[in-house]
Amino acid sequence: MKSAITTLALVGLAILFFFTVRWGVPHIEGDLNTRCNIALAEQDYGWASATADGRAVILAGYAPSEEHREQAATLVAGLPGVRKVVDKVEIREIRRRDPVALCQEQVRSLLETRRIQFETASAAIESRSSGLLQEILEILESCPDANIQIGGHTDATGSQKTNLELSQKRAESVKAYMIDHGIDADRLSAVGYGPSKPIASNSSESGRRKNRRIEFILWGQ
């Protein structure tokens, strides 16, 4: 009797193993594929694609910078069920013959996660932004042939006229900082756009915070 029970138990385990191998792994991989790619898209890493191999995830694509590559890999590695990330992401090449494009990418990368801060309803730059401004300054100094437009942007709170004036004054404050620290004034221009170019919804505080920003546009002379 015990022998028969043991035999049945072994047969049951064998059947369970068969179905796990045949259907369990693909199900796990499909679930990981879906969750990883949704997470990447939600964080604006649409340039990356994730493919599950068991519980390992192969990450591929062309990142705009090394920082983006590392952030995407960290995001995927932190998702439940992911045991290992195989990073096959390549950095998008910026041609050496176009140094202005490289400088533009470097400035854009800095401002993607950090902002030049101003006092509330004022064009006075907060002292905590001095480190970021210095980093931007060093990039601009490395591109002596680039023209630079400094664009000021606000959220949609308040009147259009007030926001346009504030964005212009903030852009001019940053321009003055750059001139005071050695950038040729002839290379610089300041434009206030007010709330006309939002990058997020103004219906939430987080969206309004993103819209209150300074941008730099570089082009060759």
Over residues 158-171, the pLDDT tens digits come to 999 999 999 999 99
Give Cα 4 to chain centroid, integer Å: 62
φ, ψ at 106 (rounded to 5°): -65, -45
Residues (pLDDT < 70) of the chain are 1-28, 93-97, 221
| pLDDT tens readout for residues 20-46 | 444 445 566 777 777 887 888 888 887
Burial of 27 (0-12, 13-18, 19+ CB in 10 A): exposed
Give bridge partners of residue 191 from the DSSP assignment: 151
Q: Quote the pTM value.
A: 0.59
**Sign of the dihedral through C-alpha 111, 213, 219, 184:** negative
Which of helix, strand or coil describes residue 103? helix
In the chain, domain spans: 2-91, 99-220
The topology under which CATH files domain 99-220 is 60s Ribosomal Protein L30; Chain: A; (3.30.1330)
pLDDT at residue number 137 = 97
Half-sphere exposure of 176 (CA within 13 A, CB side): 9
Q: Which CATH architecture has domain 2-91?
A: 2-Layer Sandwich (3.30)
